Structure 1
Amino acid sequence: MEGINPLSIFLVKDGSKGDRLLFRYPYTMENRDDEAKKRARQSPYSVEPSENILYKAKPPLSNIKNGQLSGFDDTVLSNLFAVKMGLCEKRLEVKVNDVRFIGHPTLLQSGSSDSVLPRIRHSTSTSIILINIVIVLRASASHWVVECYYELSQRLGVALRHEEHRCQYLHNEARLMLEAHDEVAAQPEDSAESPYDLILERSRLAKELRDIYHDAYKLLKGYQISSDLYYSLCTSGVVKRRLNNWIGINFCLPQKVHYLRNQLLHIEPGTIYKCLESIQPYHGILLLGEESELLASLPPDSSSSLKRLVKMASPLKNFHQLAADTNLTLLHIFQLTSHLVYWAKVMVIYPLCETNVYVITPGAPADLASLGEEFREVFPGLSLLSVLSEFSLPTSLSHKHTPIWLFQQQNQQVQVIVWLLRHRLLMQLHTYVFFSPPVRKPIPSHIRRSSRQSTPDFYLGLSEGSSEKSDGDSDVTVETQTQMVQEDQSQRTLAEEDEERGSKGDSELQYEALFPNLSQLEIEVILACPAACDAEDLKLFARMLPYFHGKHHIEEMMFMENMRRSQLLELIEKFRPVLLTCTHEDPRLAIFYHH
């Protein structure tokens, strides 16, 4: 997860007094040395060394030292990210060597257009025109990681603009930061004090930016930090705080949140979106923690419908049942579920029932010592290895009649399965059906007979007698005979078609209407099945045939066509000669498991 954590976060402002880097975190001794050298060069008696044109030092290939940003002083950063007005309210992304800067320059005031800014309650005397909160990442960070951090930069900029218009929060904090910079600059040149130490002592905004970023190693070294450390980018990937104790900022880095749930999973937001687009009403949700913990983690102003969904959630209910129990629309249930899945609070499953088939997950850890202790605490008297051994092969819950399960009540069995699903130790398998008619072997060429039209007897007789007549009469006779033969052939063709249509009236034409997309050979193979003699079974097979292409499992067919499982399984067994079945996981839910 090294490429997901940010390298640095800093705040740049631009206004009537020029641009300035107000705050950066983390700051190192290298940053202090750069500032000391800068102050030393500002002396009027200092002499700049002349440039040696014969030797040019190669620029550093890496701007990362000890996991932090290096090689950029404050002046370079302020000049680079205090952009012109035309680049404000847009995405700003800069790549230098092996680091990537991502930010969203935010206008605080505009002289020409008021549509960009929200309505200001009172006039402000601030001289700040724009701010830019820039987050530094490794250049190798994935596209989705960059997108997430850009969203965070945009949210922070909008929140600061709101607070500036409400109570001049940014103006007051910027004044404290500038005073700290000027105070340190006035100290002797050999002073090693950093202005950012003073800024962290005096500025609330600096502390909030530090807590948003905060490194986990600060906790180990005994630094005095707020409780919001546990909701930071470098520890949990979650930001939950109220800027200036007023406006809430809730942000989630789904790659890290899902990774901390299961370190074998590497889930990108794009994969989550694809999964959520394919969920169906017959699916359900499984809470990845206790209900009380999940409710306590929700913000105080969270939606009441979200709390209602969490309270009514059960692994035995599908989305249709949840919509009825919570008195919410199905679309609203899907939206709330998407939010919970994104934050790794729930996972999408097929609701538990006796016919569900489970098997041990391919990515289950080999060392189960720690999980075994946790399992024994939750379920005294049961062994995790013994329970998992029951699912070494695909096993239906209705077939659990071993001594391990006999003494348990049904409720406890459900709790055991829920615990195993939460820890991704079990995976559900579904049965998929394929229409696969057997291929008929071609007829050998020496047996095949050529089809040719036979010549009518009367035509042969007339043609023989025509040689005895004169040349003038022969032309008329031949034309007449040819016309008669053509009329006779057309009459025979019409008669044969009528006879064929009459014979097909109740059989072949009816079969072609039942199976409009099948070839004649495929229809014949279906009719060869013994169950095809029953008209009801044949109609039911034609109705279910669009599902027999391996993309719909049995549970989905039951929901879509409102059928009982026994009825569907009986139909599959009757037409077994033309059907194949296979068992595997649901591709829609594959993101929740390691492969």
Structure 2
Amino acid sequence: MDSNVNPLAVILVYFDSKGDRLLYRYPYQTLGQEVATEEQRKYRKRNPFAVVQTDDLLQTTATATNSTSSGQLQGFADEVLSALFAVKPQLCNQKFELKLNDVRFVSHPTLIPHKEQRPSNASKQQMLINIVFALHAQASYSIVKCYHELSKRLGLALKFEEQRSGYLTEQTGQMARTHDEQSQEQKPLEQTFELIAERCSLAQALKSIFHDLCTTGLLSTSLNHNLTLCFCLPAKAHQLHKKGSMVDPETIARCLRALKPYHGMLLLVDFAELLDCVPPTGARMLWQLVDAYNPLISLQSMASNADLSIEHVYKLVSHLVYWAKATIIYPLCETNVYVIAPDAPLHTKSHLVEKFSARFAGMSLFEVISDFSLPTSIGHLTTPLQQPARQGILAQMVLWMLQHHLLMQLHTYVQFMPNDDDDEFADSASCTAQRHSDADELDDQIEDNLHGGSVFSVSSQPLPVPSIGLTIGQRRTISENHSSLASASDNIVVQASSSHKSNFSMTASLSTDNCDSLDSMEDEQKLKELLLVFTDADRAAIRRIPASLNVDDLSLLVKLYQMGYFKSEHHLEEIMYFENLRRSQLLQLLDKFRDVLIIYETEDPAIASMYNNK
């Protein structure tokens, strides 16, 4: 898999009015040339007057010796490659792809006018530059697309430098002169390429690009000491953090399209390794984001702290994720539920075991991660009696395990699924028919108000983010205080609902004992209006639930139902953010209507898609 990502060679072909020439290639081992020479000797022995057919030689040599032996390009003479890639002008400035045997060549040939020429002669005095990457034929479409993009960027960069200072004319001229000098002295071609790499900065840049592609997949190359070319090969770069994974640009794009303000960011590298992924012009904005970086807060909060728009933060975070410098998470908090990733490299000889011990002295990776053998929240692993330092260490260990893809977060999703019990439905229907005899006699005005959404005109504001300065223990204490208050009020609601034996709402029964009061009649009208959004069977199932007699509870249920939150497509954190709800409010609602709402825990598919590709 990894070999299909690495290039076999990079080739520089030049063509102008004087003809075509392969000026440089790397690696420049002459094994391919030696094979070709040996084949030519065989032909000479058969018939000293026979003309060697280049096409036959190409096919015979490649088939016999395998063009990609030992991960290097073999069996292709430079004259053949030069003739193949010095394409006609009609094929320039677009993708060029050619498959020969088990090798795929991809490039973006570019026409570049000479700097000294006049505009009137531009059509006659152009030179073609073609930077070709030789790949394994089995390379995926995404990998081929990335190499084509790199060839295109190199061509544009050289075009810019040629128009600015005549850089390309100077470099190609120096390469050609070196070839001529070495040819007269009958020096080996390998020695010629080595000398070119010493003399020409363009050859040095191509050599450096090849090595970077084979090692990290991350490029930050300077051309002519003026223009910095930054490029990332995701399929290679993301393997630095998780070996064996195949993350293509399309997968990353799907993840980033699902980015929301409530998401967070987790850096995978040190701050010092961030600048090589952006040109110098973009460094200032990146450092603004880095200064506000905190895995405990959302992207929206980071944007506010960095004085950047959320759109700019999205672009910066997307860039860091593409370059394998960061990953998307939900901000770390005590309610987050984690479990061991199914493909976590936790064998006894894993390099992560020693790496974890070096990072957290006296701690065992297996002992710590065993707490997450079953889905567990951070809050379950902490107690109020623990020192804040201990809680902080636990948070750091969780972040470390997330950085190395040992843990995955589980989110709670909700599915609306009412009970279809016929007997229970019949009993409930008879009671409901008696208590709601006028359900089918609602006037047109109520229906108009319902469809107009007047009942559900609730504004949604983002949830406030807790202060970063608070420790995890302090935030937990605050959360528990809120939870205890909510729990106490919930007991009152349940008591009132269970003791309520009429068809009036809880609010009406608490405010007055008069069943014909105006408030109770208004509440009854609201309940009927709210229930109209459900089908008859679903309406009957909901009526069996005591909480359905509470206008506030039923209003919230209907609102979330109509917004599509109960289709297993939105997790609780997303609902909380967009509907400005506290977790305690949402959990109480799910508990009250648990007969028609089913919850389950799973990964966020947008984030998980990046780490489940092999």
Fold match by TM threshold 0.5:
yes
Give the match for residue 343 of structure 2: 363
1:377/1:500 CA distance change after superposition, 3 Å: closer
Give the match for residue 411 of structure 1: 392
Does the 8 Å contact 1:34/1:73 carry over to 2?
no
Which residue among 551, 570, 577 is the counterpart of 1:535? 551
Give per-residue Cα distances to partners, 1:513-564, cap 9 Å, x unaligned: 4255531111111111111111221111111223111111111111111011
Which residue among 516, 521, 538 is the counterpart of 1:522? 538
Higher mean Cα deviation, 31-40 or 161-170? 31-40
Distance 1:96 1:169 in 2: 33
Deviation at 1:127, TM superposition (A): 6.2
Does the 8 Å contact 2:40/2:52 carry over to 1?
no
Deviation at 1:18, TM superposition (A): 0.8
User: Equivalences for 1:281-430 in 2 at 5 Å?
Assistant: 281-294=261-274, 299-368=279-348, 370-401=351-382, 408-430=389-411
1:193/1:323 CA distance change after superposition, 3 Å: closer
Distance 1:90 1:57 in 2: 26
Deviation at 1:366, TM superposition (A): 2.6
Which protein has the bigger helix share? 2
1:90/1:203 CA distance change after superposition, 3 Å: same
**3-state DSSP class of the match of 1:150?**
helix
Distance 2:37 2:178 in 1: 15
Give the match for residue 415 of structure 2: 434
Give the match for residue 97 of structure 1: 101
Q: One-letter code of the match for 1:381?
A: G
1:532/1:79 CA distance change after superposition, 3 Å: same
Higher mean Cα deviation, 547-556 or 515-524? 515-524
Deviation at 1:38, TM superposition (A): 12
**3-state DSSP class of the match of 1:563?**
coil
1:290/1:75 CA distance change after superposition, 3 Å: closer
Q: One-letter code of the match for 2:416?
A: F
1:120/1:593 CA distance change after superposition, 3 Å: farther
Q: One-letter code of the match for 1:390?
A: D
1:575/1:291 CA distance change after superposition, 3 Å: same
Higher mean Cα deviation, 66-75 or 269-278? 66-75
Deviation at 1:276, TM superposition (A): 0.1
Does the 8 Å contact 1:358/1:427 carry over to 2?
yes
Distance 1:307 1:550 in 2: 38
Give per-residue Cα distances to partners, 1:437-473, cap 9 Å, x unaligned: 1113389xxxxxxxxxxxxxxxxxxxxxxxxxxxxxx
Deviation at 1:383, TM superposition (A): 2.2
Distance 2:238 2:530 in 1: 48
1:106 aligns with 2:110: yes
Higher mean Cα deviation, 270-279 or 352-361? 352-361
Q: One-letter code of the match for 1:212?
A: I
1:386/1:97 CA distance change after superposition, 3 Å: same
Which residue among 149, 155, 175 is the counterpart of 1:157? 155
Give the match for residue 181 of structure 2: 183
Does the 8 Å contact 2:220/2:277 carry over to 1?
no
Give per-residue Cα distances to partners, 1:109-143, cap 9 Å, x unaligned: 29xxxxxx99999x99x966111111111111111
How many aligned positions are there?
514
1:202/1:23 CA distance change after superposition, 3 Å: same
1:196 aligns with 2:200: no
Give the match for residue 26 of structure 2: 25
1:273 aligns with 2:238: no
**3-state DSSP class of the match of 1:325?**
helix
1:22/1:39 CA distance change after superposition, 3 Å: farther
1:198/1:128 CA distance change after superposition, 3 Å: farther
Greater Cα radius of gyration, structure 1 or 2:
1
1:169/1:37 CA distance change after superposition, 3 Å: farther
Does the 8 Å contact 1:431/1:554 carry over to 2?
yes
1:7 aligns with 2:11: no
Give the match for residue 584 of structure 1: 602
1:11/1:547 CA distance change after superposition, 3 Å: same
1:72 aligns with 2:76: yes
Does the 8 Å contact 1:32/1:194 carry over to 2?
no
Does the 8 Å contact 1:434/1:549 carry over to 2?
yes
Distance 1:567 1:499 in 2: 29
Distance 1:258 1:86 in 2: 37
Distance 1:420 1:207 in 2: 39
Does the 8 Å contact 1:128/1:171 carry over to 2?
no
Deviation at 1:413, TM superposition (A): 2.5
Does the 8 Å contact 2:334/2:378 carry over to 1?
yes
* Cα RMSD, aligned residues only: 3.7
Deviation at 1:146, TM superposition (A): 0.7
Does the 8 Å contact 1:184/1:193 carry over to 2?
no
TM-score, length-normalised on structure 1? 0.78
Distance 2:4 2:550 in 1: 63
Does the 8 Å contact 2:35/2:75 carry over to 1?
no
Distance 2:236 2:310 in 1: 29
1:195/1:294 CA distance change after superposition, 3 Å: closer
Which residue among 593, 604, 608 is the counterpart of 1:575? 593
Identical pairs, percent: 42
Does the 8 Å contact 1:13/1:128 carry over to 2?
no
1:51/1:144 CA distance change after superposition, 3 Å: closer
1:27/1:296 CA distance change after superposition, 3 Å: closer
Deviation at 1:385, TM superposition (A): 1.8
Does the 8 Å contact 1:264/1:594 carry over to 2?
no
Give per-residue Cα distances to partners, 1:365-415, cap 9 Å, x unaligned: 132553232222222232222211211111111121479976843322221
Distance 2:32 2:67 in 1: 13
Does the 8 Å contact 2:340/2:372 carry over to 1?
yes
1:547 aligns with 2:544: no
Q: One-letter code of the match for 2:542?
A: I
1:501 aligns with 2:441: yes
Distance 1:39 1:509 in 2: 96
**3-state DSSP class of the match of 1:272?**
helix
Deviation at 1:593, TM superposition (A): 3.4
Distance 2:276 2:197 in 1: 30
Give the match for residue 593 of structure 1: 611
Q: One-letter code of the match for 1:49?
A: A
Distance 1:316 1:413 in 2: 13
Q: One-letter code of the match for 2:85?
A: F
Distance 2:39 2:160 in 1: 35
Q: One-letter code of the match for 1:387?
A: V
1:119/1:102 CA distance change after superposition, 3 Å: same
Distance 1:99 1:195 in 2: 25
1:259/1:311 CA distance change after superposition, 3 Å: same
**3-state DSSP class of the match of 1:303?**
helix
1:498/1:430 CA distance change after superposition, 3 Å: closer
Which residue among 253, 258, 261 is the counterpart of 2:233? 253
Q: Which runs of 5+ in 2 are unaligned?
A: 42-46, 425-436, 447-520
TM-score, length-normalised on structure 2? 0.76
**3-state DSSP class of the match of 1:175?**
helix
